[in-house]
Structure 1
Amino acid sequence: MHIPLDFFLSIRPALFNLCIVFIFFFKKPLRPELFDFHGVQMIHYFTDNWEAVQNFQARPDDILIATYPKAGTTWVSCILDLLYFGQTSPERQTSIPIYERVPFLEIFIPSRVLGVDQAEKLLTTPRLIKTHFPVQFVPKSFWEQNCRMVYVARNAKDSMVSYFHFDRMNTVQPEAGDWKDYFQRFIKGKMVFGSWYDHVSGWWKKKQTHSNIHYMFFEDLVEDTGREIDKLCSFLGLSPSAEVKKQITGEVQFDNMKKNSMANYSTVPVMDFKISPFMRKGKVGDWKNHFTVAQNEEFDEDYRKKMKDSTLQFRSAI
């Protein structure tokens, strides 16, 4: 929308202010464009603060939660926050949204959210920090400090579907477009944070030589949340009581989190819940409601080629 400056100069101040308000609230926001960044498809909201992110000073007790987008990041963030602070600071759960308790390290939206600043200001011990970076983008201080890292992976088909609906409703992501085109984009890795295949495989390979990475699967969490919390506790050296673990398991059930305004991202203005909620279904196998038979055959053939040398095993149904 282009409005000549002369128009504004010719109207009364009150009407001028009304026009500004109208444009601010009703003009459709511009979506960012994908571009190649060190071999990975990215958008500027995650690269504009690159130097500060790369120079971030991790502490030995920091815990980094890493995922490809829409793989259970918020789920595991809430679990860890409850494990560490649910008993000592229960008010956090009802007064501070999860994206402030667990800052998104690389995000940079001027005047709204600066992930590095949020992480540096955290007063908790440990600091819980999340990232969607592929493993090669993680700031070197996390490796130098031998920080514990929790990586969550989700099967590719459900990842694609969940990411599609997320891109539809999140105005700081590129336009989703129609499902058919999105399907092809995902296969080609034309997604923010790059190829799903490269992401899950890169972190899996790093885990083989880095003992402080705990690699989890979304499908396992759905199947038996309590069992996976036990594994997390073992990795982190935590020993909560059976009662506390039962309480946490109940609080992080999908339906409970979806209704929780401090966990469901309903307070984030860039997300349009009229299009789709941030927490949509949280199930394994929803891809069957989106993939055509032809798409499923095409995907499976491409998947076999790209993952033929990997020892990673995913379940697209449980």
Structure 2
Amino acid sequence: MAQTPQLRKEIVIREVEGVPLLQAAVDNWSHIQNFQAKPDDLLICTYPKSGTTWIQEIVDMIEQNGDVEKCQRALIHHRHPFIEWAKPPQPSGVEKANAMPSPRILKTHLSTQLLPPSFWENNCKFLYVARNAKDCMVSYYHFQKMNQGLPEPGTWEEYFETFINGKVVWGSWFDHVKGWWEIKDRYQILFLFYEDIKRDPKHEIQKVIKFMGKNLDETVLNTIVQETAFEKMKENPMTNRSTVPKSMMDQSISPFMRKGMVGDWKNHFTVSQNERFDEIYKRKMEGTSIKFCLEL
């Protein structure tokens, strides 16, 4: 007899300023808001499924001067504390960050209005990666299917509605991307596009090196480009989440590093969904100068 898949337990979502977040993060909210950033912190900021692990590995390779072995020192999610992450009794992202020596590289999926104020007050460096909304939606859908710590996404049709209405964890893609884009010139923000890194990794990685105040030679740069290629990272147990127990991430449903491509949305969107999405996009992104590439 075929085994019935284990039903995931009900995931509780709470809103903070209209943004849906996991219950554990909301329970820890005052600690998150009171987090003390330091002027030499670098914060990696992304909307979920926009190349977070990718940019983390790029940044770590730069920080370690292209030393592959040093980048194998720990799993990627242990190298850069995730500010809003909380799962008692494990140490929270805030606790992990507080225990970390400077200079620290941290990560968040929080939108600008939810970020701990000390990041702005200390004029920290922010590295933001944006990915086109259609591919982002597809990737997030598959991620929610396999990630037992997030709500069940339902059917693709249902998820489409959840996503466009900003009812996914970490809120609306539109608000998130627009929020970071609008302030990019007021703070030390390097704003990158997933699609650009895909198209010309060398050029984009050079921008990150410069932003981090590093000076690396061509050989090191080439090593970084090579080591952070999607196929390489998909095979790397330090980045592919293969060590995470199946009870948390079931990679038999969908791999954590699935396709890493531009334009996969075409395999999911129906013609009418695409038309409707384009209308919503136009309305929600009105007045912003940001331009996305939807296929390579």
TM over 0.5: yes
The Cα of 1:60 is off from its aligned counterpart by 1.1
1:48 and 1:159 map into 2 onto residues whose CA distance is 27
Tell me the SS of whatever aligns to 2:113. helix
Q: Is the 8 A contact 1:35 1:42 kept in 2?
A: yes
What root-mean-square deviation, in Å, do the aligned CA atoms of Structure 1 and Structure 2 show? 1.5
Question: What is residue 19 of structure 1 aligned with on the other side?
Answer: none
| Aligned: 1:257 with 2:236 | no
1:35 and 1:51 map into 2 onto residues whose CA distance is 15
Out of 252, 256, 261, which is 1:283 matched to?
A: 261
| Structure-2 change in CA distance of 1:209 and 1:95 (3 Å) | closer
2:30 and 2:197 map into 1 onto residues whose CA distance is 35
Out of 193, 201, 204, which is 2:181 matched to?
A: 204
| Aligned: 1:57 with 2:33 | no
TM-superposition CA deviations, 1:244-293 (whole Å, max 9, x none): 00000000000000110101112222111111111100000000000011
Unaligned runs of 5+ in 1: 1-25
Q: How does 1:6-25 map to 2 (within 5 A)?
A: none
TM-superposition CA deviations, 1:201-223 (whole Å, max 9, x none): 0011111322x011110000100
Question: What is residue 173 of structure 1 aligned with on the other side?
Answer: 150
TM-superposition CA deviations, 1:151-195 (whole Å, max 9, x none): 000000000000000000101111111000000111111111110
Structure 2 counterpart of 1:176, which letter?
A: P
Percent pairwise identity: 48
Question: What is residue 37 of structure 1 aligned with on the other side?
Answer: 16
TM-superposition CA deviations, 1:211-247 (whole Å, max 9, x none): x011110000100111001111222221101110000
2:123 and 2:10 map into 1 onto residues whose CA distance is 37
| Aligned: 1:140 with 2:140 | no
TM-score under structure 2 normalisation? 0.94
Structure 2 counterpart of 1:126, which letter?
A: P
Q: Is the 8 A contact 1:34 1:192 kept in 2?
A: yes
| Aligned: 1:310 with 2:288 | yes
The Cα of 1:113 is off from its aligned counterpart by 4.7
Question: What is residue 74 of structure 1 aligned with on the other side?
Answer: 53
| Structure-2 change in CA distance of 1:68 and 1:81 (3 Å) | same
Compare CA radii of gyration and give the structure with the larger one.
1
Out of 251, 267, 276, which is 2:243 matched to?
A: 267
TM-score under structure 1 normalisation? 0.88
Question: What is residue 166 of structure 2 aligned with on the other side?
Answer: 189
The Cα of 1:86 is off from its aligned counterpart by 4.3
Question: What is residue 77 of structure 2 aligned with on the other side?
Answer: 99
Out of 41, 47, 63, which is 1:84 matched to?
A: 63
1:102 and 1:86 map into 2 onto residues whose CA distance is 17
Tell me the SS of whatever aligns to 1:208. coil
| Aligned: 1:227 with 2:206 | no
Q: Is the 8 A contact 2:22 2:169 kept in 1?
A: yes
| Aligned: 1:120 with 2:64 | no
| Structure-2 change in CA distance of 1:79 and 1:98 (3 Å) | same
Structure 1 counterpart of 2:115, which letter?
A: V
Question: What is residue 214 of structure 1 aligned with on the other side?
Answer: 190
Q: Is the 8 A contact 2:64 2:71 kept in 1?
A: no
Going by fraction, where is helix more abundant, 1 or 2? 1
The Cα of 1:92 is off from its aligned counterpart by 3.4
